[in-house]
Amino acid sequence: GNSVTQMEGPVTLSEEAFLTINCTYTATGYPSLFWYVQYPGEGLQLLLKATKADDKGSNKGFEATYRKETTSFHLEKGSVQVSDSAVYFCALNFNKFYFGSGTKLNVKP
Amino acid sequence: DGGITQSPKYLFRKEGQNVTLSCEQNLNHDAMYWYRQDPGQGLRLIYYSQIVNDFQKGDIAEGYSVSREKKESFPLTVTSAQKNPTAFYLCASSKLAGGTDTQYFGPGTRLTVL
């Protein structure tokens, strides 16, 4: 079946630190992959996506590369800010959406 | 601006009452979805609709009902049969159902049972 596994949080970093949030998936075909961000009390916002192997999605300094050989879609950012504090969800869509359980990021000044 | 609106943002319900959450989209999307999110948890699919006048149960449909009379609207009713309805409810839509399309989310409705 299809599923998404992402690293458990919370992840706590100092401002300007490097961020990696791991995400791996299992899929019976070739899904699209997504990262969503959720700020407190709000809905999910699409952060970035990739639709095929080796595609790199990027937005607001965040990047993730669709790795078919390792079935991964890890989220990275070179220098986090306090305003990046939120919950991040990895997801795949292959005829149905599957979400990871979310990773809470806390960035301290 | 195109997007998804949900109302109200906060909703309070007494035990034993039904309550309806509104979801409207002006993105001309065919597919719409309802999710439930509990504190510190991921998303669970309640119902989805691929086309007007058609909808399917998701993973946790018991105690909920929906309708899809218009393409733009997909209201969710939380009935008194739902034993633990206090949660954050998210509506989403996508251009097409299935495939590899992107889902877009509304701002959510927080329901509290008093």
Distance CA A5, CA A1 (A): 13
A31 touches chain B (CB under 8 A): yes
Q: Which residues of chain A have pLDDT under 50?
A: none
B98 touches chain A (CB under 8 A): yes
A66 touches chain B (CB under 8 A): no
- Which chain B residues are Cβ-neighbours of A100 within 8 angstroms? 42
- Which chain A residues are Cβ-neighbours of B105 within 8 angstroms? 36, 43-45
Angle at A25 between CA B96 and CA B29, to 5 degrees: 10
Residue A29's pLDDT is 85
Assess whether pLDDT exceeds 80 at residue B64: yes
Assess whether pLDDT exceeds 90 at residue B2: no
Distance CA A48, CA A32 (A): 11
Pull the structure tokens for residue A4.
Answer: 């998404």
Radius of gyration of chain A (CA): 13
- Cross-chain CB nearest to A95 (options B45, B92, B98): B98
Residue A61's pLDDT is 97
Pull the structure tokens for residue B38.
Answer: 């509990």
**Contact across the interface for B101 and A32, Cβ inside 8 Å:** yes
Residue B1's pLDDT is 62
Distance CA A26, CA A35 (A): 16
Query: In 3-state terms, what secondary structure has residue A101?
Result: coil
A3 touches chain B (CB under 8 A): no
**Contact across the interface for A32 and B100, Cβ inside 8 Å:** yes
A39 touches chain B (CB under 8 A): no
